[in-house]
Amino acid sequence: MNRLLVVFLSLLVGSVFAHTNEHANLGKQASSIKASGKVFHQSISIIRRMHPEFLHHKRDKTLRQGVRTDEYSLKGCVSCHANKNKTNNQYHSVDKKGQFCSDCHQQVGVSLDCFSCHRTTPKEGFL
């Protein structure tokens, strides 16, 4: 029984780690940053947990006060985390099924309306 529990637990832990460490769809820019061993977000757990607050704060700062820094810009999230379709060299929308933002949101049961207005791929001409 105990052995079974250990097997079960290690499977569970394994799958959690598998999820937390593997993001096959991290995005074109973000993947190459990660591959190069650099960090962008100071802490993964903070960006995971706090990004809704960061984004809401940022949007008021930008729209109502004209503060246009890069930090926590929604344009930035999209530019870095959008994946490219290897066959036609076009970007996938970040909110499409299976893509970076929507994949996780679907798992946790969150739905966003941001992308009814905000562009879902990096801007035209972005490499």
Partner 1 sequence: MNKTLNRRDFIKTTSAATIGVATVASGITLTTFASANKVPVTNEKRWGMLIDTNKLTEADIDGMVSACQQEQGWGSEVHSTGAQRPDWIKKLKVKDKATGKISNLALMCQHCEEPPCVDVCPTNASMKREDGIVLVDKHLCIGCRYCMMACPYDARSFVHETLSNQKEHMPRGKGTVEACTMCVHKVDKGEAPACVVSVNSDAVIFGDLYDASSQISQTLKTVQSTQIRADLNLNTGVRYSGI
**CA gap 97, 101 in Å, rounded:** 9
117 binds partner 1 (CB under 8 A): yes
Residue from 84, 93, 96, 105 that binds ligand HEC (CB under 6 A)? 105
84 binds partner 1 (CB under 8 A): no
Q: 84 with 28: CB under 8 angstroms? A: yes
Diameter of the chain by CA atoms?
Answer: 62
Q: Which does 36 bind (CB under 5 to 8 A by kind): ligand HEC, partner 1, none?
A: partner 1
96 binds ligand HEC (CB under 6 A): no
**CA gap 64, 92 in Å, rounded:** 30
66 binds partner 1 (CB under 8 A): yes
CB of 101 to ligand HEC, least distance (A): 3
* Total count of residues recorded for the chain: 127
Q: Which is nearer to ligand HEC, 7 or 60 (CB)?
A: 60
Q: 94 with 102: CB under 8 angstroms? A: yes
What token pair was written down for 69? 């820094």
Residue from 23, 51, 61, 105 that binds partner 1 (CB under 8 A)? 61
CB of 114 to ligand HEC, least distance (A): 3
CB of 11 to ligand HEC, least distance (A): 20
Is 25 strand, coil or helix? coil
